[in-house]
Structure 1
Amino acid sequence: MKHFPLILSISLAIPFSGVAQNDVTKLDPVVVTSVRSQDPLIVSTDAKAPVQPVPAHDGADVLKNIPGFSVIRKGGTDGDPVLRGMAGSRLSILVEGETVLGGCFMRMDPPTAYIFPEAYDRITIIKGPQSVRYGPISSAGLVRFERDFVRRDDTGATMFSTVTAGSFGRLDGALDLRGGNSSFQGRIAATYSEMGDYSDGDDQTVHSSYQRWSTNASLAWTPNDDIFIEITGAVSDGEAAYADRMMDGALFDRNNIGLRMRRSNISDLVQEIEFQAYANAVDHVMDNYSLRTFRPTMMMPGKTVSNPDRLTTGARLALSLMPVEKLRLDTGIDYQGNRHRVRATMNQDTMPYENKARVEDVSFDQIGAFAEAAYTINDHTRFYAGARIDQWTAQDKRAAISLGMMGGSSANPTANLKRESTLPGAFARVEHDISKGSTVYLGVGHTQRFPDYWELVSSESTTSPSAFHTAPEKTTQVDLGWLYRNDALELTASVFASGINDFILIQNSFPKSSIMMGGMMSTRMATVARNIDAKTIGGEFGLGYRFTEAFRIDASLSTVRGDNTRDDRPLAQMPPLEGRIGFTYTRSSWSVGALWHGVVAQDRVAINQGNIVGQDIGPSPAYDTVSLNASWAPTSYLRFSIGIDNLFDRTYAAHISRAGAAVAGFTQTTRVNEPGRFSWIKFDYRF
């Protein structure tokens, strides 16, 4: 029954008779190749639109067409998103306001691994530390995967279904069905995706197969236009092969339950009150035999399994106030807590992991208060500002610390230690319309980030086997930009500069002394977290020009430069200069398009340094690719799209992609290479 969501979506992707279709959004016959800001520092895109290059069906790859984003590739799916050179918890990922945290010690399952984009309606990005309403401020920005809700005024149903097939055995399906009346609305969304091992441009097979599925359901009660109460739930699972490590993901189980309540138009002062609570349980299994040929090694002589899990809970209470006519004030409190546990075995045959008890290693709790104001100064000028304060508590529950596969273990010097931090954050931004369609803006933000699980637990410090004393990271950033739009031309320009005190750097191959059997001293290489000072500067630039009603060109450019000012060397894991040029010719029911994507060489590296996801492994060469697409919408509710990605079958890898590992039966590469030529067809239907 593993193909049930796909079979269901195919069976329903046919015209239904007798269903009203007057109020359904029409399908646009255009394949998305780039996304630009429509508002200062805010980008929004349709999560269900066909995209080129075709992304993996996860929450990271779908972001790559947005200027400023990159992805750290590990295999066929579950990459880590990077915005303006920042990854991990420097970039917040929210699913309808909820936090989902993975369990893997080595980031096999980042939050985006549990996100299935076509189950959502909209993806919204806020770049930089420019909002305080959505939990602790992240220095890089915020990504929100959201579903739209509109109260019905009649009884009826709507549906969106899609099927995608492509090279390397790629097969995706999604169904989003919703219906009800003015008082009750229900929704169910199911997705399925699978792909075999892909080949790069040299026809070398990459260990990268995956299979993923999800089901989301919700039931809302709306007795009138001002009351909204919704219960939500989700389950998902999958498996994925990884080309960058010695183990694969055999289980990505997520279970979710949530509650949302909203009351609007309470009084002239109180515009809205909103409450949300949720729980996300993630159970992850990684091993060295389920998805690859088992070969005993010195580090893993037996069938090895690690089974971490994490329970993340959260709540939020917010008020929207209108103290005066031109001032809106959003204020509230929020909470998030998570508990991480793990169990493992070095020999699944004789000591199955299922028979072992789970052991909690660390817990986190955060409670915060925020206030954010939007003030209209006059018809041309707007001012936004906000502040929040967060109280963090973390407890180290590890009795011992592993010193690597061959390093044995050490007593934990921070066992049972509880640390607390009170961390403030704030921002201010002014926007001014200098003429019709032309807006300039200036924003300043400051945030203090508590170290995450991977920085505190997955690494050592330079002087101790525990990194639990790592200091919070403090970022101050300035954003400056311009947006221009008329009937034919769209221009966007955004530049930023940040200063980061106590930047948390992850460094591999750090020499540390150890005592061998017999009392002899030796040197081992460790992965450590250490605080440095850093600065970054960069920007994103976009252009869209319509030569005629049918012919359009889109172009974008993004760049970032980082410096480790403590060590006087480049800041690691900085993506190189990247550009895109797309051409689209559109008629009423069809379109054709082409996309050129180019990346320059990167030689500003800091080998063995980086972040919780990856470290620099050396310089990388320039590359470019060309992709083609076409789309036909014979009716307003039916769309066919086809395309070829990497038309000339180039062999290349992104600079920040992970190093290739030695996997039995596969050729090891310097970095995990991107797929070679990829052909695809996509079918969408909605009523």
Structure 2
Amino acid sequence: MGKTNFKLSLLAGALVMAMQPSVQAQEQHNCTKDEKCNDYLVVTGDVMREPVNVVSDPKKPRLPLPAFEGSGFLKTIPGFSVTRKGGMGGDPSFRGMGGSRLAIVDDGQHVYGACGGRMDPPTNYIYPESYDEITVIKGPQTVKYGPVGSAGTVLFEKNRHRFTERGIIGRASITGGSFDRKDSIIEFVAGNADYYVDFDMDSSSSDHYKDGNDNPVQSSYDRDNIKVALGWTPSENTVIEFAMGQSEGEAEYADRLNKARQIDNESYTLLVQHDFDSELLKNVDFQVYSNENDHIMDQFDRGVNMGMDVMRSTSGGHFWLGLTPMMNWDLTLGVDHMQSDHQGRGINMMQDKGLDDLLRKPFMKNMEYANWGLFVESVYHLDHSKVFAGMRYDNWDTDLYVGQKGNRADDVFSGYARYEYRDGFSQYYAGVGHAERVPDYWEIMKTSASNPMQKSFDLEPEETNQLDIGWIYDNGLVFSSSLFYGKLDNYILVDSTGPMTVARNIDATLYGGEASIDYDVNEHFSAQVTLSYTLGDNDTDNVDLGQVSPLESKFSLNYQKDAWAAGLLWRVVDSQHRVTIGHGNIVGQDLAESSGFGTVAINASWNYDDHLRLILGVENLFDIAYAEHISKAAGGNDLPGSEPMFQVNESGRNFWAKLTYEF
């Protein structure tokens, strides 16, 4: 689908849906009597309100500027940082751990980027507002969702639907901002007692932004997404859904000369869910999926004869069986499978020329792997407490077709146990988790530390052993805290201090946590304060662990009365002196010590009625020039009029407006 036609269709669809009368329909997940179905609060951050879980509603109005990709959304959650490369392709990191240490699950699918330089991390393909719920599970405290995320697991989830009568519900929104930012989305669910269709289409684009020094930063992007799910509800207990998705994009980055001419994705899923009317059998969940990323990067527009086309194909599925062996014991048994292969093609600079020659070249396979996983996860309910536990076994078979070539087989084990106790208005928890992770594609493709002629195919699996504890208090004032201490054996470090970038195993320690206070001052004003801090040690080399973000705090004040609401967010980030130049991960390495900074964002919203809402906002109100500590080097920022910068700076003052219509 061409981009111009896509945007015209999106605009036309939004107008048509805006003129439709509102029809009441019932979904599978309804608001309870204690919830507001139309909550107009301006959200300035999502914090933990239940042990190890942060649950967010991405459709709520929020500050800062609503994110057009998953990494920007996660940045609003305490503990997360994002590596800035340009306007698109940000790589999220949680508690100093990014890349494959953070499991990103896209409505049941595992989607991996294709680019060897991380132009397209998994969150690149996710438009947060099109999802119904986003959940962050901190640390290795689940074994259910495929290969375990040692840092944590992020679930981007869509609801399944059930209508009692024929109807349609949905929403449309448009966003405009500085630097020619344009976002639009139309989504609706229509159906009857037997069938439904869930449709969403979104588009986002921006020109190059300017930093606080009025310096142009190469950061333009253009991205379109469309998803359609067809559901069949043959009974009250059964949902069968087939879904298709397509994503098209292009982008330029400030940290490299290569342009992402194409960042495309296609996906297909089949889901079957059934609830049993049985004392023992609770439910069954079966899903299969397939997705493919096709990414072209080149410098043809710069007059440089250099280009590559890489492709990542991933397929898999899971089968989960929910059991209730005893009245107070819930058990989930599961098996899952995933197979992924990476291939690429590039031009011969002496014989080929331009994009047409690149597209005529054959693809050559680089690496492929297959994973089988078995797990059991349980919850035991006591009078005032719960005991969670899980165990998982993974079998990996990996083939390398470049470098020294070869095959490796890995058997890894993960597990956790957590105790939660509720006493009045307080919840306490303590958990231990163990996660084993095999080296990913990007780590293997680095140079071997023992042989500069080979790939890092001999890396040992990484092992994380972590303690998580926390306290949540909720009685008018909500206070939540989570602390962790992790020992990582065979941590996979990416080291660029020598003549070649190598990947090698070390032992490391990470510790820190997050805390927050939410307080309703009165019926109109509420305030929130969050704090996050992680420290990391490279125990093998006796230096600081690379790519760990500094101490960060956020202060927000919200106001709401009748149809009006407003919010202010003050973000303060400390300087970072705990660095080791050249040490890091697959996303980037430490460049230097960094200075602290503070930014202010404000917004205001007005609800015309229960359907129409307008939000106005300003980011970086005082036009501060700053860069995140884990930002990439600005080696590709050569726009006309641009002054040299060491790192990729964040955007300067940014005005935006968003109009939303719900029906």
For the aligned pair, the TM-score class normalised by the smaller chain equals over 0.9
Give the letter aligned to residue 410 of structure 2.
S
Between the aligned partners of 2:361 and 2:26, the Cα distance in structure 1 is 57
Alignment of 1:388-467 (within 5 A): 388-398=392-402, 412-413=403-404, 415=405, 417-435=406-424, 437-464=425-452, 465-467=454-456
- Is 1:473 paired with 2:491? no
342-351 or 214-223: bigger deviation: 342-351
> Which residue does 1:348 correspond to in 2?
353
Contact 2:497–2:583 at 8 Å: present in 1 too? no
Kept in 2: contact 1:10–1:163 (CA 8 A): no
Distance 2:504 2:446 in 1: 13
Taking the aligned partners of 1:13 and 1:155, their CA distance within structure 2 comes to 16
The Cα shift of 1:187 comes to 1.1
The residue type equivalent to 1:447 in the other structure is A
Aligned to 2:34: none
Measure the CA separation in 2 of the matches of 1:167 and 1:684.
19
Equivalent in the alignment of 1:374: 379
Partner of 1:93: 104
CA contact (8 A) 1:199 1:206 kept: yes
Displacement of 1:9: 5.0
**295, 305, 316: which is aligned to 1:314?**
316
TM-fit CA distance, 1:663: 3.6
Assess if the C-alpha contact under 8 Å between 1:105 and 1:458 holds in 2. no
1:635 to partner: Cα distance: 1.1
Residue type of the alignment partner of 1:442: A
CA deviation after TM superposition for structure 1 residue 167, in Å: 0.4
Q: Does 1:174 align with 2:185?
A: yes
TM-score by length of 2: 0.95
Counterpart Cα distance in 2 of 1:636 and 1:238:
34
Task: Output one character per residue of 1:93-117: Cα deviation in whole Å (capped at 9) or x when no partner.
Answer: 0111100111101111111111111
Distance between the aligned counterparts of 1:5 and 1:572, measured in 2?
46
Alpha-carbon offset, residue 77 of structure 1: 1.2
1:239-258 residue pairs with structure 2 within 5 A?
Answer: 239-258=250-269
Q: Post-superposition shift, 1:485?
A: 0.6
Deviates more, 1:281-290 or 1:561-570: 281-290
Please name the residue that 2:226 is paired with: 215
Contact 2:603 2:616 in 1 (8 A): yes
CA distance in 2, matches of 1:10, 1:641: 18
Alignment partners' CA distance in 1, 2:173 and 2:547: 36
Aligned to 1:526, the other structure's residue is in SS state coil
Deviation string, structure 1 residues 164-208 (Cα, Å, up to 9, x no partner): 000000000011111111110111100000000000000000000
One-letter amino acid of the counterpart of residue 296, structure 2: V
Amino acid in structure 2 at the alignment position of 1:613: V
1:187 to 198, 215, 220: 198
Correspondence 1:645 to 2:619: yes
Contact 1:12 1:161 in 2 (8 A): no
Alignment RMSD: 1.5
Contact 2:218 2:638 in 1 (8 A): no
Kept in 1: contact 2:175–2:182 (CA 8 A)? yes
Q: Any conservation in 1 of the 2:136–2:152 contact (CA below 8 Å)?
A: yes
Name 2:604's counterpart in structure 1: 630
How far is the alpha carbon of 1:530 from its aligned partner? 0.3
In the TM superposition, residue 327 of structure 1 has moved relative to its aligned partner by 0.1
Between 19-28 and 160-169, the greater mean CA deviation after superposition = 19-28
Tell me the distance in 1 between the aligned counterparts of 2:534 and 2:191.
48
> Deviation per CA, 1:585-635, whole angstroms, max 9, x where unpaired?
111221111110000000110101100000000000000011111011121
Specify whether residues 141 and 5 from structure 1 end up closer, same or farther in structure 2 by C-alpha distance, changes over 3 A only: farther
In the other structure, the counterpart of 2:391 is 387
Change (3 A) 1:351 1:184: closer
Q: 1:273 Cα shift?
A: 1.2
Displacement of 1:118 in angstroms is: 1.8
- Look up the SS of the partner of 1:352 in the other structure: helix
Distance across 2 between alignment mates of 1:88 and 1:43: 20
CA shift, 1:10, in A, is 3.9
1:49 pairs with 54, 60, 71, which one?
Answer: 60
Equivalent residue letter for 2:386: R
Determine helix, strand or coil for the equivalent of 2:97: coil
Equivalent of residue 333 in structure 2, options 331, 337, 342: 331
Distance in structure 2 (CA, Å) of the matches to 1:28 and 1:327? 35
| Partner SS state of residue 11, structure 1 | helix
Please report how far the alpha carbon of residue 30 of structure 1 lies from its aligned counterpart in structure 2 after TM superposition.
2.4
Deviations 1:114-143 (A, max 9, x none): 111122111111010001111121110011
Q: Distance in 1 between matches of 2:607 and 2:17?
A: 14
Q: How many residues matched?
A: 646
Residue 219 of structure 1 deviates from its aligned partner by: 0.5
Answer yes or no: is the 8 Å Cα contact 2:160–2:239 preserved in 1: no
Aligned 8 A contact 1:13 1:162 in 2: no
- Aligned partners of 1:630 and 1:641 also within 8 Å: yes
Aligned-pair distance for 1:44?
0.9
Equivalent pair of 1:460/1:526 in contact (CA under 8 Å): no
Q: Does 1:542 align with 2:516?
A: yes
Partner of 1:519: none
The 3-state SS of whatever aligns with 1:3 is: helix
Q: CA deviation at 1:462?
A: 3.6
Among candidates 533, 540, 561, match of residue 559 of structure 1? 533
Unaligned runs of 5+ in 1: 296-301, 399-411, 511-524
Q: Is the CA contact (8 Å cut-off) linking 1:28 and 1:633 kept in structure 2?
A: no
1:444-498 Cα shifts (integer Å, max 9, x gaps): 0001101100001244334342201111000000000001111x21000110000
Alignment of 1:504-515 (within 5 A): 504-510=492-498
Find the counterpart in structure 2 of residue 127 from structure 1: 138
Pick the aligned partner of 2:500 from 523, 526, 530.
526
Within 1, Cα distance between the matches of 2:16 and 2:450? 58
Distance 1:308 1:583 in 2: 46
- Within a 5 Å distance, the mapping from 1:60-75 to structure 2 comes to 60-75=71-86
- Name the CA shift for 1:206/1:55 in 2 (closer, same or farther; >3 Å): farther
Distance 1:307 1:195, change over 3 A: same
Question: Secondary structure, in 3 states, of the residue corresponding to 2:141?
Answer: coil
8 Å Cα contact 2:193/2:233 also seen in 1: yes
Partner of 1:139: 150
Q: Shift of the alpha carbon at 1:18?
A: 6.1
Match of 1:520 in 2: none
- 8 A contact 1:276–1:315 mirrored in 2: yes
Counterpart-to-counterpart distance in 2, 1:663 and 1:584: 37
Hey, what's the Cα distance between the residues in 2 that align with 1:568 and 1:55?
A: 41
Distance in 1 between the 2:446 and 2:150 partners?
Answer: 21
Structure 1 residue 660, shift from structure 2 partner: 0.5
Query: Any idea what SS the aligned residue of 2:408 has?
Result: strand
Of the candidates 532, 538, 543, which is equivalent to residue 569 of structure 1?
A: 543
What residue identity is the alignment partner of 2:489?
N
Counterpart check, 1:588 vs 2:559: no
| CA drift at 1:20 | 3.5
Task: Structure 2: give runs of 5+ residues left out of the alignment.
Answer: 32-36
The equivalent of 2:649 in structure 1 is 673
TM-score (normalizing by structure 1): 0.92
